[in-house]
Structure 1
Amino acid sequence: MLLIIDDDIAVRTSLLLLFQNEGMRAVAASAPQEALQLLAQGNISLVMLDLNFSIETSGKEGMELLKQLKQVNPAVPVVLITGWGTIELAVQGMKLGANDFINKPWDNAYLLQSVKTLLHLQETKPLHRTRKQLDSLYQFGNIIGEDERLLDILETIGRIAATDASVLITGESGTGKELIAEAIHLNSLRKQKPFVKVNLGGISTSLFESEMFGHVRGAFTDARTDRIGRFEMAGKGTIFLDEIGELETGSQVKLLRVLQDRTYEVLGSSRTKTVDIRVVCATNKPLEEMVSKGTFREDLFYRINLITLHLPALRERPGDIPLLVNFFIRNLKEMYNRPALTVTPAALKWLQQLPLPGNIRQLKNLIERSVLVSRKDELDTENFRSQLAMSTVKKGNLQLPEVGSITLDELEMQMIQKAMAFHKNKIAKAAAALGITRSSLYRRLEKYNIPYDETAD
């Protein structure tokens, strides 16, 4: 049973009809006391709450009622509705326990999507299945591991995949965030539609709108043809926004507007387009810390993390390392036509004790380098140790200038110029070589007035 709390009879009637047409049972209340009495009866599965019950539009009435609702039933999902809502009010409501925020006039499809998602999440509970049971129910073929924390993540994916809940995937670099995002898509109702990955760290602020929303011919100097944006490419499917913690503040505002209103305008066009997509984001940055420092918008943070999945570092699940090593070895057998490749038990045990700050990506590179260098098919501890030592020496044996002979800015500028020249002004490759994102490289190019050609990529 849904509970609608709104002082406007037209809104109450409209929502009652909308839910009844979808086969959902709903009741309505026009005042706080009536709403609390209905909630206390115990059969309410979700609340639609108007933030205002008087001429004053401060939202205090709704916020106070939200607190009371959560005291009566802390587990009940709450969707806030308002005709004049501000982002700050939405954030305040989310902090008090609301699950979503809808503006009047609302889009019926989006409102129903939000309600159905929250109801589904409320109804499905974790069952702590084994890996074999999970594999029989879902498509997790490319995800290797049996660690309890990984199984909890896979079970959560199974529970949320059929919904349109926004998901934020966190974890260190190399932990497999993209694989998790793909698994969410492959097990969803949108699996036959596109899965579009966007590396937000690689998009400069000046190109954000063109890249994400598309542009029409003549929208700017180099816009010689129409271009479809990433949101349109992902239509009816899933968009994966990787490295969202790298997004500039100005671009964060533009992204928030799309996620909140589900509409955008193509650059150079006044036509408004609507989006029907599932949004999955990922970051290795501490977004909550960034929010407190003011470098990441709090309102955007609450929009993207209805569900948060934190991937453990590989050193936190050492039992999965032999499984990953054997998986990589099986692939390398075919890739390099070496069917007799094996790893000794002693080597597997040694690999399990490595810190591996680069996680799965580092482990994969170490295995592949060892296979390529070794002439024998049985790899032992020494094969891996020598390759690990060589990679450490390469990074540690740097010849730096004498202290006082050059400033840090001058050294950085020279290194950027060298990388740009080596990679023939290709921004993406130069940024990767320097270990920074494209967005960071663009900022440094402008800081040091280093000329570059955006079309070189």
Structure 2
Amino acid sequence: MSFSSSICVVDDDIASREAIVGLIRAAGWNAEAFESAQHYLSRRTSRAPGCLILDVDMPELSGLALQQQLAEAQVDVPIIFVTGHGNIRMSVQAIKAGAVEFFTKPFDPDALLHAVEHVLAEREGRAAAQRRSETTPPASAHGMVGRSARLQDMLRRIATVATTDSTVLIQGETGTGKELIARAIHEQSGRRKGPFVKVNCAAIPANLLESELMGHERGAFTGALTRRIGRFEQAHEGTIFLDEIGEMALELQPKLLRLLQEREFERLGSPTTVRCDVRVVAATNRDLKAMTAARTFREDLYYRLSVFPLAVPSLRERKEDVPQLVSHFARQFAARMGKDAPHVDAATMERLVRYEWPGNVRELQNVIERAVILSEGPELSIEHDLGDELGPSAGGAPRSDELAEHTRAHILKVLESVDWVIAGPSGAAARLGMKRSTLLFRMRKLGIERPSARRSH
């Protein structure tokens, strides 16, 4: 089913409804307001919204009843509840029925925006996967394209471990497709009908990560205005994907170790132990074994995570897959842009194969997307700016400081072009093809600050 990018807010309280709509629009998304569940059901479009924000206690048809009605009609729409009359039993009921989040009023605006962003990113990811499945040639699996022996061996290992409940540690360079692999493991497992919950450990501040993973009670700490269900609890009977696990703070690692061993935890501010049935898949681009030797990562946690280690080959280790990946991405982006798939001439393909791709498949994907945008005829056009990227560096990977400076300059250029708007469909994160949290993390890492912020120091 197709879906729109609009976010629908259903609340019979006009003040609350207008406040949420204003918050959503200020963040750069489209929002529609509805005063009742019946009003929402009378929408004249058959396209589901990108996200549905629901009050629970409404006259005639409650939010929970609307959720059930939509589920029975097999309408695929993510639901976030925001209510002034919530309790633990109600929130558990809503989450079990498929709700993404459950907030009680007064709610934290940033937490609501974070939940909306996560929902839309996951939804677009599924839509992109569906588009890929419609255009991917036979020699691909779960979005991973190629016929090389290295890739096929990895796919066989994925199929082998997927049928178990063992913890998997995916290790590979940035841009090699570690999240695709995690999803492939989930989709081939017995938990495929359960949730797949992703957590980027590098994008969440260390002091908030414990709350993000395990949840918290209202008043557990300053700013905890509502009770929050953690990601492990959300992933019950499904899979949790801990991306960038090497960035997790040392002080939090013993709690994760206990959770992996005992399959139980306590929410912040609560003495009650919560048990969860979750399959854990972790990923990192760092050498965790070396980190254990340097005492920057717990050795016992490393061995608990690496029950089944899975090494992802870099793109330069499977260059024979580059032509197929180029053709795949060229078709994919041309279809999205309403263009005919461009032809890739032999000279262009040779340049693409010869390049070392320090950013791996993600870098190749970005280069082909830009090339399709710039191509005006039937041939894929690698223009001069892309030539700089592919030319002198083609004999070997650029130095890390050169790559960082190139990345910094590109992010700055995009930020300035959108007047430093980060979130929303027209913001810098969307233009760069990454999540808002990922962009903020990279900006911090590269020392990028808004000019006004620098002047205020």
Query: Where on the TM-score scale, by shorter chain, does this alignment land: which range?
Result: 0.5 to 0.7
The residue matched to 2:202 in structure 1 has which SS?
Answer: helix
Alpha-carbon distance in structure 2 between the residues aligned to 1:237 and 1:139:
25
Aligned position for 1:178: 179
Correspondence 1:382-421 to 2 at 5 A:
385-386=386-387, 388=389
1:430 paired with 2:445, answer no
Letter in 2 for 1:353: R
Equivalent residues of 1:173, 1:358 under 8 A apart: yes
Alpha-carbon distance in structure 2 between the residues aligned to 1:397 and 1:293:
26
Alpha-carbon distance in structure 1 between the residues aligned to 2:444 and 2:213:
25
Per-residue CA deviations over 1:282-307 (Å, capped at 9, x if unaligned) read: 00001110011100100000000111
Correspondence 1:48-447 to 2 at 5 A:
140-379=141-380, 385-386=386-387, 388=389, 429-435=439-445
Residue range with higher mean Cα deviation, 231-240 or 151-160: 151-160
Q: CA deviation at 1:190?
A: 0.1
Equivalent residues of 2:240, 2:280 under 8 A apart: yes
Equivalent residues of 1:290, 1:296 under 8 A apart: yes
**TM-score when normalising by structure 2:** 0.57
Equivalent residues of 1:369, 1:387 under 8 A apart: no
TM-aligned CA distance change 1:397 to 1:232, over 3 Å = closer
Q: CA deviation at 1:389?
A: 5.8
Equivalent residues of 2:140, 2:146 under 8 A apart: no
Letter in 2 for 1:187: Q
The residue matched to 1:273 in structure 2 has which SS?
Answer: strand
Residue range with higher mean Cα deviation, 379-388 or 218-227: 379-388
Q: Percent identity among equivalent residues?
A: 43
Q: CA deviation at 1:435?
A: 4.1
**TM-score when normalising by structure 1:** 0.57
TM-aligned CA distance change 1:428 to 1:349, over 3 Å = closer
Alpha-carbon distance in structure 1 between the residues aligned to 2:403 and 2:307:
45
Letter in 2 for 1:321: V
Alpha-carbon distance in structure 2 between the residues aligned to 1:213 and 1:139:
36
Per-residue CA deviations over 1:36-87 (Å, capped at 9, x if unaligned) read: xxxxxxxxxxxxxxxxxxxxxxxxxxxxxxxxxxxxxxxxxxxxxxxxxxxx
Q: CA deviation at 1:159?
A: 1.1
Q: CA deviation at 1:208?
A: 1.9
Alpha-carbon distance in structure 2 between the residues aligned to 1:238 and 1:214:
17
Alpha-carbon distance in structure 1 between the residues aligned to 2:190 and 2:447:
33
Equivalent residues of 2:331, 2:341 under 8 A apart: no
Q: CA deviation at 1:212?
A: 0.6
Alpha-carbon distance in structure 2 between the residues aligned to 1:209 and 1:398:
30
Alpha-carbon distance in structure 2 between the residues aligned to 1:363 and 1:160:
28
Equivalent residues of 1:366, 1:388 under 8 A apart: no
TM-aligned CA distance change 1:247 to 1:398, over 3 Å = closer
Q: CA deviation at 1:186?
A: 0.2
The residue matched to 2:251 in structure 1 has which SS?
Answer: helix
Alpha-carbon distance in structure 2 between the residues aligned to 1:209 and 1:150:
35
Equivalent residues of 1:366, 1:387 under 8 A apart: no
Q: Structure 1 stretches of 5 or more lacking a match?
A: 1-134, 400-414, 452-457
**Rg comparison, structure with higher value:** 1
TM-aligned CA distance change 1:338 to 1:354, over 3 Å = same
Equivalent residues of 1:342, 1:378 under 8 A apart: yes
Q: Give the aligned length.
A: 289
TM-aligned CA distance change 1:313 to 1:396, over 3 Å = closer
Alpha-carbon distance in structure 2 between the residues aligned to 1:435 and 1:263:
34
Alpha-carbon distance in structure 2 between the residues aligned to 1:340 and 1:424:
31
Alpha-carbon distance in structure 1 between the residues aligned to 2:391 and 2:445:
19
Equivalent residues of 1:346, 1:381 under 8 A apart: no
The residue matched to 1:309 in structure 2 has which SS?
Answer: strand
Letter in 2 for 1:311: V
Letter in 1 for 2:247: E
Alpha-carbon distance in structure 2 between the residues aligned to 1:151 and 1:185:
18
Equivalent residues of 2:404, 2:446 under 8 A apart: no
Residue range with higher mean Cα deviation, 307-316 or 336-345: 336-345
Equivalent residues of 1:165, 1:306 under 8 A apart: yes
Q: CA deviation at 1:224?
A: 1.3
